[in-house]
Amino acid sequence: MMIMRSIFLFSVLFFTVLSPCAAAISNAHIHVVVSLVDNASQGIEPVPAKIGNGDDPRRNLYWGALYGVKTFLSKAAGWRNLGCEQAISDTILERCRFGWMDKLTVTADAYRGRRIDQAMLDFMQQAATPPDATMREMVVFIGHDGLMDAQNLPIIKRFPRHAEHDKQAVVLACMSDTFFARHLHAAGSKPVVTTHSFMAPEAYVLEAVARGFANGANEAELRSSAGIAYAKYQHISTKAGKAVFGANNHTDPISLSLR
């Protein structure tokens, strides 16, 4: 009887330990580059100062606020925060890992707001790197569209080029199809979710796209999921939400600069 109870207890402990690890060893992975919003250095309409400090990830609109990546993914259904590290470098202020069910892991990096140029360059370098043969990979940029700001345009000369490969790319930033899509194609990656209007790049869109990616959704389904989530949280029609991520309308680039 004691032997049977010991086997039972060992089995319970084994599966209790194994379950959290299952998410950590999933073969689907998303790397998210989050450029913290920064009133002082980015060409944006200022947000409240408390959430607009690009040196403070804990309160930042795109990281620690209600719909920021760290806060939202830590609380969303089916998600777990697998751990965070602070001060990865002078540029990356925090890195967090998340798991969704046993299908997906996400690594998210919070970049200092005034280093949006480095955030965009790192995103493009990841987009240009072919995925591991054993992995399904996606790379995501979240934040202000820094290519709208004249002072960031020199970084384009450093964007990498690569032959076509299968890594999917997502850019949750204003007008990102106009400003990023051609560079992503040149880097060899596949821009599957980009935007065609101004938008709020909040984490509910990332969460919807991530779940779709984990479940093997195609490009149209990923865009649809993004639009539905955006409509829900922005309190707009589904049609209007989907239009944000709609078909390429070939609009001419607009020119914005810092105030």
CA distance 72 to 98: 11
| Mean pLDDT by groups of 10 residues along the chain of 259 residues | 41 38 65 97 94 97 98 97 96 98 96 97 97 92 96 96 95 97 97 97 98 96 97 97 73 33
Residue 250's pLDDT is 38
**Pair 111, 118: CB distance under 8 Å:** yes
Helix (H, G, I), strand (E, B) or coil at 34: strand
Decide: 206 and 140 in contact? Cβ < 8 Å. yes
- Residue 43 amino acid letter: G
CA distance 95 to 238: 33
For the chain, the domains span: 27-244
Whose CA is closest to 225, among 211, 236, 235, 237? 211
Which pLDDT score, from 0 to 100, does residue 15 have?
35
Query: Of the candidates 29, 26, 24, 209, which has an alpha carbon nearest to the alpha carbon of residue 137?
Result: 29
pTM (two decimals): 0.85
Nearest in space to 178 (alpha carbons), one of 82, 247, 250: 250
Task: State residue 132's pLDDT score.
Answer: 87
